[in-house]
Amino acid sequence: MTINAEVPVAATRTGAGADRSGQGADAGQDATAGQQVTAGQAADGSSAADLVLPLVAVGGAAVLAGNGYVRRTRRARTRTTPAVVSPGVPPVVSPRPPVTPLPVLERQAGAALVQADDCIRTSRAELSFAETRFGPAAVEPFHRALREAERELAAAFAIHLRYGQGVPEGRDEEAARRQALAGIVGRCAEAGRRLDAAAPAFDQLRALEEEMGEALEVAEGRFRELTGRTGAVEATLADLHARYPASATATVTGYVEQAKDRLVFATTHLNQARQAADLGRTEQAVRDLRAAEGAVGQADTLLTGVDQLANSLAQAADLVPAALTGAEAERARAQTATGTADGVSRSLLGDADAALAAVREELTGDRPYDPLAALRSIVRAVSALGGGQDGVLGAAAWLVGRADVRAADGFVATHRGAVGAGARTLLAEAERLLGTDPAAAGEPALAARELAEQDVRVHGNPYSGGAGHTSGAVLGGVLLGEDPDGGPPLAFGGPDTRKGGGPGAEPVRTD
Instruction: Mark out the alpha helices in 338-437 (DSSP H runs).
Output: 346-364, 371-384, 391-414, 421-436
Transcribe 22-82 into DSSP letters: GGG--HHHHHHHHHHHHHHHHHHT--HHHHHHHHHHHHHHHHHHHHHHHHHHHHHHH-SS-
What residue spans of 79-211 are helical by DSSP H?
102-134, 136-165, 173-206
**What value does the CA radius of gyration of the chain take, rounded to a whole number of Å?**
41
To 10 degrees, what angle do helices 438-459 and 421-436 make?
Answer: 160
Worst-scoring range by mean pLDDT, 110-124, 133-147, 477-491? 477-491
Q: What confidence score (pLDDT) does residue 373 get? A: 97
Look at residues 448, 473, 309, 330 and name the one whose alpha carbon lies nearest to residue 388.
Answer: 330
| SS3 assignment, position 404 | helix
- The three-point CA angle 351-356-358 to 5° equals 100
For the ranges 69-73, 263-267, 284-288, the lowest mean pLDDT is seen at 69-73
Q: What is the mean pLDDT of the chain?
A: 82
pLDDT of residue 347: 86
Report the distance separating Cα 150 and Cα 189, nearest Å. 12
User: Domain extents for the chain?
Assistant: 102-206, 311-459
Strand partners, 89: 86
Q: In whole angstroms, what is the distance from residue 412 CA to residue 157 CA?
A: 15
Residue 485 three-state SS: coil
What does the chain come to in residues?
511
pTM exceeds 0.95, yes or no: no
In angstroms, the CA 169 to CA 178 distance is 14
- The pLDDT-based confidence of 352 (bands split at 50, 70, 90) is very high
What is the model's pLDDT at position 66? 47
What is the rounded distance in angstroms from the CA atom of residue 369 to the CA atom of residue 361? 10
Rounded-to-integer distance, Cα 170 and Cα 173, Å = 5
Per DSSP, the chain holds a count of helices (H) and strands (E) of: 15, 0
Neighbours of 407 (CB within 10 A): 22
**pLDDT value at 32 more than 90:** no
From residue 241, give the alpha-carbon distance in Å to each of 249, 367, 368, 411: 7, 13, 10, 20
Per-residue pLDDT at 398: 97
Residue 55: what pLDDT?
Answer: 38
What Cα–Cα distance (Å) separates residue 422 from each residue in 427, 459, 490?
9, 15, 23
